[in-house]
Structure 1
Amino acid sequence: MRAAAAAALAISVLVSAGCGSTSHAADEQPVDLSKLDTGNYTTKPRNIQAKNPAQIGRYLEALRLGSVVPLAQDVDPALTYNVPDVNPFTDADAFVADQLAGNTAAFGWLNMTEFDANTPGLVAGFQTGARSNEDSTISYELKNAVMVFESDTAATAAAAALARSGFGRNEGTEPAHSSKYPTAQIAWMSQTQALASWYATGKYVILALAINHENALLGETDQPGLLALSDKAISATADRMKAFQPTPKDKLADLPLDPEGIIRMTLIRPAGDMTAFAFDGTLDARGALHPADDPNATRTRFERSGVDLVSYGAGQVVRARDSAGAEAYIADLSSLRFRHRIDPPSGLPAARCVEYRGPVHNEAPFRCLATYGRYAAEVWSTQKQDVYQRISAQYAMLANSR
């Protein structure tokens, strides 16, 4: 299974220094914004405008799916370690906008060269996943996705085409059958202990990839167990999709880009930057559990702080219940294990900055957090100076949005 670049942000924006109507409570500790070292990062809120409203509407529809698609943990409570390749998408290619970009391994386990040809009528999709252990070699894993199409016919045809060109061409692949979902297209790979299912229901195609890494390592096999996990994923996703109302094709361009006014004050990811999330935009508190490393801890943190919205860019901005909730949120994050406090950047003494010293090799070594009113911002980087500039610029952007 090969990793491949996939959807990043499809929201093309025009960036300006225009002021908005968002109001914030005054800071308890005044900050002289002119003395902050913000590097080349912008400090002014953005004027969000769509260059291609129809295309961007599809991406916004994908983000809407993120609030409905079940977490892997909803399917199996043991799947508590989220995998990193979580993303909204509208096709197999990476969407790289002028100011916002990213990459992920979305659908790297499918035949990427034929994905677009196999999915005519695709509107949008969302992929998530998790595994049972922090160490992937002794875990089993579920990757789950749903795609919405323009019609039932398009969805049915896409499920069959994706199944033919997905695992079906890999050596040692053979078909499997689900008695619960007899119309599902299923491929079984005994060598890697992976089972992939494509199931069409109405305008949706549900994709479930169940893998037992530990069994593959031990040379053991458990097709029934993976088939049962796949069936549960299909069932949970199909049930959740009953509550989703697809946006009519002629209304996609009317979906609001930034209805809560939070993207406009989220720090822009630099071109080519790979340190933040693989997508940009907003998710509600439930949807934001998908990209969280630990969904249980994040859910508790959100509930305690009253977080209802998260915006992603060169870091993330969360909207808490109030200023006390925002402070509680950053206090919790900055005190996590293996995070050691370091000095804040010059001019921003209230920022909480930490250096990671722990066993996770791909963890960003430097993080900074700060609040402004009910908003809490978190940024991270491989360089201390860069993380200082990011949090300073993000703070200034929030302050300038008054």
Structure 2
Amino acid sequence: MNSPEPRIKRFLSAGAILAVLVVIIALSVQSCAPGVAGHAAPGLTPVDLTTLRTGSYLAQPTAYKPKFRNSTDFRMIESRRMLGYLVHPFDVDPDDNAPSTVKLVSSGTDMTSDDGIPKVFAPIGDTFNVLAGVYVSRTNGNLRSRRKVIAGLLRFPTEDAARGAADQFGTIENDTNPGRHPLTLAGHPDAHASSGDDAAATAFIAHGPYVIIVSTRVPAPDPAALSGLTGRTIDLQLAAMATLQPTPLDDLLDLAADPAGLMRRAAPQAKDYSDPFFDTADFGTYDPLADLHYERNPVDVRNAFRDDGVDAVARRAGVLYRTRDLAASFRLQNTLTETGKDDDLLNPPPGLPDAKCVRLDLQDSNRSYDAFCVVVYGRYVAMVVDHLPIARPTPTALYERAGAQYAILARSE
């Protein structure tokens, strides 16, 4: 009679092998399942849209229909396009990467600002009929050792008008600031460049139907350093606009407002006017280089745009970024929510564990917010903002905005 021991061993061996196979199959299925946290490839945590707190904010995708009250409104389309051809100050001076001030221009009257183009220049813009334009200002964020680059680009109807405006800009700058002296810029003998103290300079130069405006500052009087910084800004600006061609004004209204369906996925303005900003001139679609002017951490964000395949950005009440895939979206979210030394991370909104929120120490100079949340859904990353009251800094409304923005993305498919 055969002993049962070999059969038992064979049975146990087969059972062990079967158990191992079951474990392997289970792990394989688990690794492929979407929405499971803790794996090398990130997945979205499942969200129940019916329980999201969205308050009074619209939680459905909506078509974007810009309002054109007058000719200056539709010129903003050209200004937003020109932003993609404006030199980045941190490319001129790597130290100048603090949060920026951006202004879009559609007439001589609105082209000036307390931090940028002086208001005395407005009549010249009106006289020569500036059609569109943009400028950006960044500093090194150091009040004791200030460095600054302001770059501006204005479009005029003709080359003659641009040359006339540049000449007048240079003349009025010297007339209203006695004691200024010319500043020599290598390679740019036709530039109207001057300084009053060899620590700060302005320059104006016509290029086709455009006028390039530059304002620079170095920490201490240094004519050579100031001339070099100013001339380098012009050099890089000319290179940036090498392929820039003015869009005929009659064609602007024929351009699709939302050709890729991005604006419909971005949160619209709040019906109760509770958005922290009032100016909606920046609403529209942008290429990544143009949007970069608005970003808090421009160098890191530019690298993220490149690495994560960001090909378009839509700015509405919510700011929407389109990436390569879900993994890229999570990486971009991490970059957008990088905190400074005095910023604070907030808890995620109820029901949105994948969202990330930040309370800023300094208010954003373009949209006047000091808190924001970034949500992810597939290829899309979206940011919503709010200004928290000092007396009662609760993020309830911010969380409701984030919930509404997530719901919009989920319902946009």
**What TM bracket, shorter-length normalisation?**
0.7 to 0.9
Query: Given the alignment, which residue of 307, 328, 332 partners 2:331?
Result: 328
Letter in 1 for 2:214: A
The structural deviation recorded for 1:321 is: 0.6
The equivalent position to 1:61 in structure 2, one of 78, 83, 87, is 78
Would the aligned equivalents of 1:82 and 1:129 in 2 still touch at CA under 8 Å? no
Runs of 4+ in 1 over 6 A off after TM superposition: none
In the alignment, structure 1 residue 114 sits paired with structure 2 residue 123: yes
Distance 1:139 1:337, change over 3 A: closer
Say if 1:265 and 1:209 are closer, same or farther in 2 by CA, change over 3 A: same
Aligned mate of 1:376, from 381, 391, 399: 381
RMSD of equivalent CA atoms: 3.1
Q: Distance in 2 between matches of 1:71 and 1:321?
A: 24
2:239 matched residue in structure 1:
239
Amino acid paired to 2:138: A
The 3-state SS of whatever aligns with 2:76 is helix
Superposition pairs for residues 309-388 of structure 1, below 5 Å? 309-334=312-337, 336=339, 338=341, 340-355=344-359, 360-362=361-363, 366-383=371-388, 384-388=395-399
Supply the distance in 1 between the matched residues of 2:51 and 2:308 (Cα, whole angstroms). 30
Q: Which residue identity does 1:388 align to in structure 2?
A: Y
Alignment of 1:2-401 (within 5 A): 28-52=44-68, 55-76=72-93, 78-92=94-108, 107-111=116-120, 113-120=122-129, 122-131=130-139, 133-166=140-173, 168-178=175-185, 180-190=187-197, 193-212=199-218, 214-215=219-220, 221-270=221-270, 271=273, 273-274=275-276, 279-334=282-337, 336=339, 338=341, 340-355=344-359, 360-362=361-363, 366-383=371-388, 384-401=395-412
Instruction: Give the distance between the partners of 1:167 and 1:33, measured in 2 at CA.
Output: 61
Q: Deviations over 1:13-39 (max 9, x none)?
A: xxxxxxxxxxxx999555343433223
Query: In terms of mean alpha carbon deviation, does 273-282 or 253-262 score higher?
Result: 273-282
- For CA contacts below 8 A with separation 6 or more, give which structure has more relative contact order: 1
Q: Which runs of 5+ in 1 are unaligned?
A: 1-24, 96-102, 216-220
Indicate if the aligned counterparts of 2:110 and 2:122 stay in contact, CA closer than 8 A: no
Structure 1 pair 395/92, CA: closer, same or farther in 2 (3 Å)? farther
Distance of 2:85 and 2:122 partners within structure 1: 28
CA distance in 2, matches of 1:239, 1:159: 19
Residues 33, 165 of structure 1: alpha-carbon distance in 2 compared, 3 angstrom cutoff: farther
In the alignment, the residues of structure 2 paired with residue 92 and residue 39 of structure 1 have an alpha-carbon distance, to the nearest angstrom, of: 41
State which drifts further: 253-262 or 138-147: 253-262
**Structure 2 SS opposite 1:49:** coil
Give, as a single letter, the amino acid of the residue that structure 2 aligns with 1:390: R
SS in 1 for 2:313: strand
Which amino acid in 1 is paired with 2:299?
N
1:111–1:268 Cα change, 3 Å = farther
User: How much does 1:365 deviate?
Assistant: 5.2
1:230–1:362 CA distance, 2 compared to 1 (3 A) = same
Residues 303-349 of structure 1: CA deviation (Å, up to 9, x unaligned): 23222222223342111111221122223444645565543323333
8 Å CA contact retained: 2:108, 2:125: yes
CA-CA distance at 1:275 after TM superposition? 5.5
What percent identity do the matched residue pairs reach?
Answer: 27
Structure 1 residue 272 displacement after superposition: 7.3
Q: Which has the larger radius of gyration?
A: 2
Does the 8 Å contact 1:149/1:155 carry over to 2? yes
What TM-score, normalized by structure 1, do the two folds share? 0.78
Count of residue pairs the alignment pairs up? 358
Q: Which runs of 5+ in 2 are unaligned?
A: 1-33, 36-42, 389-394
**Alpha carbons of structure 1 residues 90 and 307: separation in structure 2 relative to 1, 3 Å:** same
Work out whether residues 305 and 328 of structure 1, in 8 Å CA contact, stay in contact via their aligned partners in 2: yes
Counterpart contact for 1:62–1:88, Cα < 8 Å: yes
Residue 113 to residue 387, structure 1, CA distance change in 2 (3 Å): same
